[in-house]
Structure formats: structure tokens, C-alpha cells
């Protein structure tokens, strides 16, 4: 099997972004000017305060060029910037907490009615996990027919479509809840995720003596007609990186409470959706 290299993963994430996201480019010039100016002023202030040298400037240039060459802009931005965009976007929500989407979502996963088993290999490694819960409105009304779009990595930390040799929709699915908003999804517990160390993002992490880990997590997009879609993640207590996620995307409200059952675990989580704006 070929390796999940940074460049191959980055190329896939870059391709996904350009295919899936509609970038309008209609930001008014005044707004572009304001934001670009303020970001540049922050760069100037950093250079002056820390007396940045030509060697350091050239290292930055080389690194920026490499991020693009590796296709790692989706990874770098989602790891180091998206969490603040999400904080601002969802500041006024009353319902469940959201967190970052990250670079590895793929729209159009296979659809299932609850109870569902996510697509997985016959010999899929990992702890069996049953994930269930209910989707409700902020006033407590059950949202029958809500959609739970879930994706996560395998027991080795690899995502289908972004690492080679994994079936296209492995551990990805769109599950429709029943008429009382309840859903049940059978899958395996994902492993912690390490950012590829052989690309530009890995290089700056190493150069700064940071670590490259995200705690184990499930990714979700939960939606229902007349309600705001929430993009979120759920985490497992005891993970060594819950308190220092490289992507700063853990929130206490997103922690699961797994109960051992049989040879696996049972996790329950309810989603509360805000009314459409
Ligand atoms: C991931 O799995 C992820 O969720 C994020 C945000 C960044 C890199 C890998
Ligand atoms: Fe992830």
C-alpha cells in the first residue's frame, strides 16, 4: 500500500475544497481592504517587535511556497485558523455546540435509515461502538427525520478518500433519524489523529517544537428542515490530547461518556438545533 503522504492527503483535500465549496469572491473592496490591512499590520508589528531577519523572512517564503506545493492550505488553515471563525459564526447559538469542520468532509456519503451500520471493511480494526441519541429543537420538540451526517478516521487514524487503500465511503454515512428524532449508528471508535509529519504543516510543527496530535473524534453535520445545520465533533474522555488539541477544537460540551458493553462501547449524545435564521 502506498503511504498516506502529506502531499497526497493535501492534494485530495485541496481538490475536495475546490469541488465542494462555492467561493463567491463577492466580498466588498472596503471589507477586503480593512481585513487585509489589519492582517498586514499584525505582520509588520511582529517583524518590528522581534527584529525579524532576512534569513527568517526567506524561511517564511520557502515555507509558504511548500504549503501550496503540498496542497496543505486546507489542513493548515483548518488546524490553526478555523476554530476562531467557528467561534464567531456560532457565538449566538442556543442549541448544541459546534466546532470546526476540518479538511476531510466528503458530501454525499451513503444514506441509511436508523439503525445503521457505517460502511466498513470486513476486518475493520478497532473497538466496536454504538452511537445513539436524539435530535431536538431548542424548545424540546423531537425533530423526526433529522439527518446525522457522520465521518471519522479508522483505528490507525486514516480517513477514507484522503489516505490510500481505504474503500471510498469507509466510516462515512448519512443516517436519517426516526419520527421521534432518535438515531443509532454502529461503527468503531476512531483513533487519535496525527497531522502528516512529512509536509509543510508538519515541518512548522517540528520547527516550533509543538506536537502534531488531535484527540480521537467523531465529525458530524446534523440538520433538520427549518433548523440551522450544526457542524461539530465529539471527543472521548481520557485522551491525552483533549487539553492540547493542535486544532484547538475541543469544548467541554462535546465530551462523550462511553459505557463499556460487551466487547465494545456505547455512547449517547443528543443534538439541539437552533431554528433557521
Ligand atoms: C483532522 O482529522 C481534523 O479533524 C482536523 C480539524 C484537521 C486535521 C485532521
Ligand atoms: Fe478529523
pLDDT, tens digit, 9 for 90 and up, residues 96-121: 999 999 999 999 999 999 999 999 99
16 lines ligand 1 (CB under 6 A): no
| 135 Cα: distance to centroid of ligand 1 (angstroms) | 25
137 lines ligand 1 (CB under 6 A): no
Buried residues in 137-168 as b, exposed as e (16+ CB within 10 A): beeeebbeebbbbbbbbbeebbbbbbbeebee
Domain around 261: 1-277
Of 3-7, 66-70, 160-164, 265-269, give the lowest mean pLDDT range.
3-7
* Residues whose CB falls within 8 Å of the CB of residue 219, separated by 6 or more in sequence, listed in order: 101, 102, 104, 105, 150, 151, 152, 231, 232, 233
Using the Cα atoms of residue 257, residue 272, residue 218 and residue 132 in order, give the sign of their dihedral.
Answer: positive
pLDDT, tens digit, 9 for 90 and up, residues 185-219: 999 999 999 999 999 999 999 999 999 999 999 99
What's the rounded mean pLDDT across residues 54-71? 98
| 23 Cα: distance to centroid of ligand 2 (angstroms) | 23
In degrees to the nearest 10, what's the CA dihedral of 71, 100, 22, 151?
Answer: 80
Cell 476554530 belongs to residue: 83
pLDDT at 1 over 80: no
Give the SS3 label for residue 111.
strand
When divided into structural domains, the chain yields a total of 1
110, 169 contact by CB (below 8 A): yes
Residues whose CB is under 5 A from ligand 2 (ion)? Answer: 102
Please give the C-alpha separations between residue 125 and each of 20, 113, 128, 129, 191, in angstroms, as whole numbers.
30, 24, 9, 12, 10
Please tell me the residue having the least CA distance from ligand 1 atom 3: 102
Question: What's phi and psi for 200, nearest 5 deg?
Answer: -65, -35
Q: Is the peptide bond before 115 cis (omega within 30 degrees of 0)?
A: yes
224: its cell numbers: 433538520
| CATH number of the domain within which 18 lies | 2.60.130.10
Q: How confident is the model at residue 152 (pLDDT cuts 50, 70, 90)?
A: very high
* Residues whose CB falls within 8 Å of the CB of residue 137, separated by 6 or more in sequence, listed in order: 95, 143, 227, 272, 273, 275
183 lines ligand 1 (CB under 6 A): no
Amino acid at each position: 500500500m502506498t503511504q498516506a503522504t502529506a502531499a497526497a492527503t493535501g492534494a485530495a483535500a485541496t481538490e475536495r475544497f475546490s469541488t465542494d465549496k462555492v467561493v463567491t469572491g463577492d466580498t466588498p473592496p472596503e471589507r477586503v481592504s480593512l481585513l487585509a490591512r489589519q492582517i498586514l499590520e499584525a505582520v509588520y508589528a511582529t517583524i518590528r517587535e522581534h527584529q525579524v531577519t532576512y534569513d527568517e523572512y526567506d524561511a517564511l517564503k520557502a515555507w509558504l511556497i511548500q504549503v501550496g506545493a503540498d496542497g496543505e492550505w486546507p489542513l493548515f488553515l483548518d488546524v490553526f485558523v478555523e476554530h476562531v471563525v467557528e467561534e464567531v459564526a456560532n457565538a449566538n447559538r442556543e442549541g448544541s455546540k459546534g466546532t470546526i469542520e476540518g479538511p476531510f468532509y466528503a458530501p454525499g456519503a451513503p444514506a441509511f435509515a436508523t439503525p445503521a451500520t457505517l460502511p466498513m471493511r470486513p476486518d475493520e480494526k478497532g473497538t466496536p461502538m454504538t452511537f445513539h441519541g436524539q435530535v431536538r429543537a431548542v424548545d424540546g420538540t423531537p425533530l423526526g427525520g433529522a439527518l446525522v451526517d457522520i465521518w471519522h478516521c479508522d483505528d490507525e487514524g486514516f480517513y477514507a478518500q484522503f489516505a490510500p487503500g481505504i474503500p471510498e465511503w469507509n466510516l462515512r454515512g448519512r443516517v436519517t433519524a426516526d419520527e421521534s428524532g432518535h438515531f443509532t449508528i454502529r461503527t468503531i471508535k476512531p483513533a487519535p489523529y496525527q497531522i502528516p509529519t512529512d509536509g509543510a504543516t508538519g515541518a512548522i510543527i517540528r520547527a516550533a517544537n509543538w506536537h502534531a496530535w488531535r484527540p480521537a473524534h467523531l465529525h458530524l453535520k446534523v440538520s433538520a428542515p427549518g433548523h440551522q445545520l450544526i457542524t461539530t465533533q465529539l471527543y472521548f474522555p481520557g485522551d491525552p490530547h483533549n487539553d492540547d488539541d493542535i486544532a484547538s477544537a475541543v469544548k467541554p460540551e462535546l465530551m462523550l461518556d462511553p459505557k463499556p458493553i460487551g466487547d465494545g462501547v456505547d455512547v449517547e449524545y443528543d443534538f439541539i438545533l437552533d431554528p433557521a435564521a
